[in-house]
Every structure is written in structure tokens, then in C-alpha cells.
Amino acid sequence: MKITSFSLIIPIHNEEDNILNLYNEINKSFQDNQVKLYEIIFVDDCSTDNSNKILKTLSDKDAKIKLVRNNSNYGQSYSITKGIKNSSNNTIVTIDGDGQNNPFDILKLLKYYNDTQFKLIGGLRNKRRDPLIKIISSKLANKIRSFILKDNCTDTGCGLKIFDKEIFMSFEYFNGIHRFLPALFLGYGHKTFFIEVDHRERKHGVSKYGTLKRLFSGILNIARVKRMLSENKKYKN
């Protein structure tokens, strides 16, 4: 399989116990499959634990690593976007920093991305390893969003995605944009595709994002994306 050069973006917030294992898994996955043309961009979202110290040590040892740090806790969308802005490649891969995504699935997404005309390929977590309340709220949010935006995606919250940087940067930024990429790519006329991927229990730490807060902001963002797609359609016509 021919591998396109890509930038792997990993947002981090207080993940001191997960970083090394995630980094080692990424390296093993890529080395086993002779993947060489890549960079890893860790974006530290103003962690208050030892995450930044660990990341600094890794970046000093590995030339493929770029370390970016936010001066305040701005959230996942901001961190992903900042990582993309600091990337050197047009092919972007994102993965969560908590270790629940399996880095070996990156190769699965890359294969489809290289062999097809899809501009975004996202993971679908086949068996969620999360608390029940999180699973239920996520399924409800996905049903509402998919019904309104017609994005043909049942799991936009999966952090494992691969997409075109230039297209991403053309979108109007808003907090939460990373959860609406399937709707935006499809709504702006780009092909999307989704593949089942592994999902694992969190071994260390706790989720940094509140369920109710996310649900409320998600409703507001659905309206925002609906407006963006409507305006884009009018512009094209």
C-alpha cells in the first residue's frame, strides 16, 4: 500500500498516564507497516499534570514530533485546529489522546483514503467502552444531528478521522467543529466514508468533557452548521 505523507494530530489535556503507551503503540503500528512519511503533533491543551513534561522529553528524542502548547484550556476543537495549522502535510489524521482509539486502525483508514476519492474517512466505534450515560447521550445526539444535517454518519464523536487539510481550513471555525466534519465535508460537496474501528476502555484518568454541556453546545452547533450549509448552497446557486 502506498502511504501518503500525513500529519497525526493528538490533543492532550492531563493525560500523563496515557501518553507514553499511546506513543509506543503509534510507533509500533507504523514501524510494523513501514510507514515513514509522517509527523506527530501533540497539542497540549494547558495540562496541569506532567503531560507537558513528558511530551517535551518525547519531542527532544524524536524528530518526528512537534509539540504545541495552548496558554489556556481552550478545548478539543481549538487544539485540533491549532495542530492542523502547525502541520506540514495536507493529509490530516486525528486521534484522541486518552488511548481509547487503537492506533493500528490508522492504517485501515489510510488504505481507504489512498485508494479512493473520499476527502474524509471517519471511524465508527463498533463497541463503545464508555459509561452507559455517555453512550446513551452520544447515540441520542448522533440521531438528532444525523436527522437534521443528513450527514450519513452514526458516530461523529469518534476521534479517529482522516481528511484534507485545505478543505478543513476553508470552513468557518467554531468550538465543536471537529464533531461536525462529516456534515461539513458532505454538505460542501466532498465524498465521505466511514469504517468500523476498535474502541477500548480508558485505562487511566477520566474524561475531560461534560455530557450535559456537550449536549447543549451540540444543539447550538447543529443550527450553526445548518446555516453554513444553507449559505454555501445559496452561494453555489
Question: Helix, strand or coil for residue 33?
Answer: coil
Give the whole-angstrom CA distance, residue 53 versus residue 111.
34
Is 90 exceeded by the pLDDT of residue 201?
no
Mean pLDDT of all residues in 78-90: 97
Domain region containing 15? 6-236
- If one counts the domains in the chain, the total is 1
Q: How far is the C-alpha of 66 from the C-alpha of 60, rounded, in Å?
A: 9
Task: Report pLDDT digits (tens) over 36-75.
Answer: 889 999 999 999 999 999 999 999 999 999 999 999 999 9
* Residue 32 forms part of a structural domain: yes
Identify the band that residue 32 occupies on the pLDDT scale cut at 50, 70 and 90: confident
Residue 130 banded pLDDT, cuts 50, 70, 90:
low
The stretch 129-141 carries a mean pLDDT of 72
Angstrom distance (rounded) from CA 141 to CA 18: 28
The model's confidence at residue 139, banded by pLDDT at 50, 70 and 90, is confident
Higher pLDDT, 160 or 3: 160
Q: Give the per-residue pLDDT at 217.
A: 79
With CA atoms as reference, report the closest residue to 30 among 85, 93, 78, 75.
93
Residues 82/147, Cβ–Cβ less than 8 Å: no
Q: Residue 204: how many CB atoms within 10 A of its CB?
A: 12
pTM passes above 0.85: yes
CATH at 128: 3.90.550.10
Q: Would you say residue 231 lies in a domain?
A: yes
Do the domain assignments include residue 1? no
How far CA 52 is from CA of 42, 56, 230, in Å, comes to 10, 6, 41
- pLDDT at position 234 over 90: no
Q: Provide the angle, in degrees to the nearest 10, between the axes of the packed helices 51-61 and 19-32.
A: 30
Identify the bridge partners of residue 68 per DSSP, sorted by sequence position: 43
SS3 (DSSP) at 146: helix
